[in-house]
Amino acid sequence: KNEVEQSPQNLTAQEGEFITINCSYSVGISALHWLQQHPGGGIVSLFMLSSGKKKHGRLIATINIQEKHSSLHITASHPRDSAVYICAASYSGGGADGLTFGKGTHLIIQP
């Protein structure tokens, strides 16, 4: 069974701290996705990675294909970054057959 594991499950940090959320997967993937979900809210796609590193504003996502591991970093964290961050894997080319998800990391940034 294809599995996606995330850590930590819960993370509380102070405003301004550097945040790292980790994701590992069990078998080869076509792409790794990072998603954000605010309480009671919808799901927003942050990154889709198949290799290397991507950056958008204060968010950075990296992937190591050999180690089957990805990380999401948040620099200069802010209370508005408080949300659930979810990693998900697609296994078919182009993501045709849906996503397999980790259980999410609940992040709270305190002022």
Q: Is 25 in the site for other proteins (CB under 8 A)?
A: no
Q: Which segment (18-26, 64-72, 73-81, 102-110) binds other proteins by CB under 8 A? A: 102-110
CB of 111 to other proteins, least distance (A): 27
Contacts of 13 (CB under 8 A, 6+ apart): 19, 77, 107, 108, 109, 110
Binding-site string for other proteins from residue 31 to residue 70, where x marks contact by CB under 8 A and - marks none = --x-x------xxxx-xx----------------------
Q: Give the C-alpha distances (Å, rounded to integers) separating 54 from 33, 49, 60, 104.
A: 11, 7, 6, 20
Q: Is 101 in the site for other proteins (CB under 8 A)?
A: yes
Residues near other proteins (CB under 8 A) are 33, 35, 42-45, 47-48, 86, 88, 93-104
